[in-house]
Structure 1
């Protein structure tokens, strides 16, 4: 990997030679984090966590497009079965979602919500609930994080997502189905006539499966 393509410049557009070399040392030969092969890369997870934890130290100064691309790539790479239940990974993604200076932009905010919803386990409920309550409703991470509550089959979990049923039906209804929520059929029924086919499909499925 000594002969880099001419379009790659160290410190620009999400390419950092140090990160490339760290990944190569673990057996993953790729130029950038978003080019890691395969659905799961267990040996890369510690590298991803280390870089995400120390990103501002390794690329100091104000947020640039370059650092933003690396940040987003690191977060999304944690969408990996090898990171599921990893407390350090969960804590770091929460820190990224809570960023304010500057806030995590879309689509990286979207990705962070999806990643956290997938790697957090039922035992992380209190931690996810606290974050969910902090986030504004227009924060895209919150929309995607809604999916997490389907893993927790309790009345409390159901009551967290129900207020968003009419606003985010296409994610809330599948979440209610996953948790086998009780006493919600009458709330879902109006969505059988929703203008969006996908929402109607989920509503029909809910009416078939929920009691």
Structure 2
């Protein structure tokens, strides 16, 4: 930990405790079973503004803090709060966010889940292949969004091996219609999960 890391970590923990959080270390922020509304707001603010509040390069300390903040927002109390934009911001290409942090942010957006009012932003992330497997759970989130354009975004990702299974899962959740032709190749996939979802999608499509 650098002196900057130490100072920022101390400030974060102090503010987190004053907001009603219970943590002895930065890692504890991400492992709480539940959080007070004020703590959710505080964690979201820190995550969205981390580069300003914890200046300098992405040190190991700041990356671990970023991951803990992301995990700290992955809870039902984050619904309809500033947590969602803060998590989406981790997919900003201008940030030096690691792959594991982006994946965790996507997983949080799926688990909370983000509301369909964020569909346009999340659809852009789901379709951005430069994010590779980091966007898997964002692609899967399309199935929870119930947005009328979600199926089209998911279908467009079926030829990307890094997210194809998650795209199938989304289409299954959506009970997508008119996609049998695109899904049929997965009926013989070596992955049982792919086969099951393909069968389910085709069954919905033909019903």
TM-score, length of structure 2 as denominator length: 0.80
CA contact (8 A) 2:125 2:138 kept: no
* Number of the residue aligned with 2:62: 67
* Number of the residue aligned with 1:179: 174
> Kindly tell me: are residues 11 and 61 of structure 1, through their superposed partners in 2, closer, same or farther at Cα, counting changes over 3 Å?
closer
For the aligned residues, what is the CA RMSD?
Answer: 2.8
Q: Which runs of 4+ in 1 moved over 4 A?
A: 8-13
From 140, 154, 158, the equivalent of 2:151 is 158
CA displacement at 1:11 relative to structure 2: 6.3
Matched ranges for 1:23-172 at <5 A = 23-36=16-29, 37-43=31-37, 44-86=39-81, 88-102=82-96, 104-118=97-111, 119-133=113-127, 135-167=128-160, 168-172=163-167
CA contact (8 A) 1:10 1:16 kept: no
In 2, the alpha carbon distance for the partners of 1:101 and 1:48 equals 18
TM-score, length of structure 1 as denominator length: 0.79
CA displacement at 1:90 relative to structure 2: 2.4
CA contact (8 A) 1:114 1:144 kept: yes
Where does the alignment leave 5 or more consecutive residues of structure 2 unmatched? none
CA displacement at 1:207 relative to structure 2: 3.8
> Kindly tell me: are residues 11 and 30 of structure 1, through their superposed partners in 2, closer, same or farther at Cα, counting changes over 3 Å?
farther
CA contact (8 A) 1:40 1:82 kept: yes
Higher helix share: 2
CA displacement at 1:50 relative to structure 2: 2.3
* Number of the residue aligned with 1:205: 200
From 187, 190, 193, the equivalent of 1:195 is 190
